[in-house]
A and B are shown apart, each in its own frame.
Chain A
Amino acid sequence: MTRHDDRPVIALVPGDCTGIGPEQTARILAEGRMDDEARFVVVGDRRVLERGMRFSGVDLDLAQVDSPAAARFDGGAVPIVDLGNIDPETLPLGRPDDTSGRLTGDTLARAIEFARAGEVEAVTFAPLNKQALYRGGWEFPDEHKMFAHLLGHTGPFSEMNVLDDLWMTRVTSHVALREAIDQVTFESVCRALRLADRTMRGAGIERPRIAVAALNPHNGEGGLFGREEIDIIRPAVEAMAAEGIACEGPFPSDTVYLKAFAGEYDSVLAMYHDQGQIATKLKGFNKGVTVTAGLETVFTTPAHGTAYDIVGKGIADVGAFERAIALAARLARRRRRDRDAA
Chain B
Amino acid sequence: MSAGAAPLALTCGEPAGIGPEIAAKARARLGSALPFFFIGDPAHLPAGTRVAEIGAPAQAAQVSGDRLPVLAHRFPAPAAPGRPDPANAAAVIEVIARAVDLVQSGAAGAVVTAPISKQALKEGAEFAFPGHTEYLASLAGGERVVMMLACPALKVVPATIHIPVAEIPAALTRTLLRRTLQITHEALRRDFALAAPRIAVAGLNPHAGEGGLMGREEIEVIAPVIEALRAEGMALTGPHPADTMFHEAARARYDAAVAMYHDQALIPVKTLDFAGGVNATLGLPFVRTSPDHGTAFDIAGKGVADPTSLVAALQLAETMARHR
- Pick the contact of A217: B242, B247, B263, B268 (CB < 8 A): B263
CB pair B267–A275 under 8 Å, yes or no, is: yes
A308 within 8 A of B: no
A224 within 8 A of B: yes
Once A222-B119, A279-B267 are accepted as A-B contacts, the answer to whether A258 and B274 lie under 8 Å apart by CB is yes
Interface centre among A178, A222, A228 (most CB of B within 10 A): A178
A282-B268 contact given A221-B162, A226-B165, A226-B166, CB 8 Å threshold: yes
The smallest beta-carbon distance between A334 and chain B, in angstroms, is 30
Does A273 sit at the interface, judged by CB under 8 A?
A: yes
User: Quick check: B243 and A174 within 8 Å, CB to CB?
Assistant: no
- The B-contacting residues of A in range 244-290, CB under 8 angstroms, are 253-255, 257-258, 272-275, 277-279, 281-283
B227 at the interface (CB under 8 A from A): no
Q: Please tell me if the beta carbons of A257 and B267 are within 8 angstroms of each other in the complex.
A: yes
CB under 8 Å from chain A, chain B span 260-292: 261-264, 266-272, 274
Q: How far is the CA of A273 from the CA of B165 in the complex (A)?
A: 13
Considering only residues 214-241 of chain A, those with a C-beta below 8 Å from chain B are 215-218, 220-222, 224-228
A173 interface residue, CB < 8 Å from B?
yes
| A154–chain B nearest beta-carbon distance, Å | 23
CB neighbours (8 Å) of B247 from chain A are 281-282
Question: CA A175 – CA B210 in complex, angstroms?
Answer: 10
Residues A216 and B215 in contact in the complex (CB < 8 Å), given A222-B119, A254-B266: no
Contact yes or no, A174 B272, CB < 8 A = no
What are the residues of chain B within 8 A of A253 when measuring CB–CB?
263, 266-267
Q: CB-CB contacts of B151-189 with A at 8 A, as 1s and 0s?
A: 000000000011111111100000000000000000000
| Chain A CB within 8 A of B192 CB | no
A186 within 8 A of B: no
Is the CB–CB distance between B163 and A225 below 8 Å?
yes
Residue on A nearest B293 in the bound complex, by CB: A255
Query: Can you name the residue of chain A whose Cβ is closest to the Cβ of B167?
Result: A226
B213 within 8 A of A: yes
| Count of chain A residues with a beta carbon within 8 Å of a chain B beta carbon | 39
Q: Which of A131, A178, A217, A281 contacts B210 (CB 8 A)?
A: A131
Please pick, from A176, A215, A225, A281, the residue contacting B214 in the complex, using a CB distance under 8 A: A176
CB of B243 within 8 A of CB of A177, answer no
Question: Which among A178, A218, A227, A274 has the highest number of chain B CB atoms within 10 Å?
Answer: A274
Q: Which single member of B163, B217, B244, B266 contacts A281 (CB below 8 Å)?
A: B244
Are B244 and A224 interface neighbours, CB within 8 A? no
Give A227 to B246 CA distance when docked, in angstroms. Answer: 29
Min CB distance A139 to B, Å, is: 9
Q: Which residue of B lies closest to A275 (CB)?
A: B263
B86 at the interface (CB under 8 A from A): no
The answer on a CB contact under 8 Å between A216 and B165 is yes
Residue contact B270 to A255, C-beta cutoff 8 Å = yes
Residue of A nearest to B218 (CB): A176
Q: Does B324 contact A (CB under 8 A)?
A: no
Q: Does A181 contact B (CB under 8 A)?
A: yes
Chain B residues numbered 132-166 whose CB sits less than 8 Å from any CB in chain A: 161-166
Provide the A116-151 mask, 1 if CB < 8 A to any CB of B, else 0.
000000000000001100100000010000000000
Centre residue among B205, B209, B247 by max chain A CB count within 10 A: B205
Chain B at the A interface: mostly helix, strand, loop or mixed? Answer: helix
Cα-based distance from A176 to B119 in the complex (angstroms): 33
With contacts A254-B263, A255-B270 taken as known, whether A277 is within 8 angstroms of B165 at the C-beta atoms is no
Alpha-carbon distance between A136 and B167 when the two chains are bound, in angstroms: 35
Tell me, rounded to whole Å, the shortest Cβ–Cβ distance linking B169 to chain A. 5
Partner of A254, one of B130, B164, B270: B270
Q: Which residues of B contact A216 (CB under 8 A)?
A: 164-165
Q: Is B224 an interface residue (CB 8 A)?
A: no
Give the complex CA separation of A137 and B298 in angstroms.
55
Contact partners of A278 in chain B: CB under 8 A: 242-243, 246, 264, 267-268, 271
Q: Kindly list chain A residues whose C-beta atoms are within 8 Å of the C-beta of B166.
A: 178, 181, 226, 228
Q: Is B98 an interface residue (CB 8 A)?
A: no
Most buried by A among B162, B164, B165: B165
Q: Is the CB of B264 within 8 A of A258?
A: no
Q: A172's closest neighbor in chain B, by CB?
A: B206
Inter-chain CA distance A32–B288, complex, in Å, is 59
Interface pair A224/B210, CB less than 8 Å apart: no
Q: Which residues of A contact B243 (CB under 8 A)?
A: 273-274, 277-278, 281
A279 to B244, CA, bound (A): 10
22 cross-chain CB contacts under 8 A: A130-B210, A131-B210, A134-B213, A141-B214, A174-B207, A175-B206, A176-B217, A178-B169, A178-B215, A217-B161, A225-B162, A228-B166, A253-B266, A254-B266, A255-B274, A273-B243, A274-B242, A274-B264, A277-B206, A278-B264, A279-B271, A281-B247
10 further contact pairs, Cβ within 8 A, besides A176-B205, A177-B217, A226-B165:
A134-B213, A174-B214, A176-B214, A181-B166, A221-B162, A225-B164, A226-B163, A226-B164, A254-B269, A278-B271
3 interchain residue pairs of minimum CB distance: A226-B164, A176-B215, A277-B243
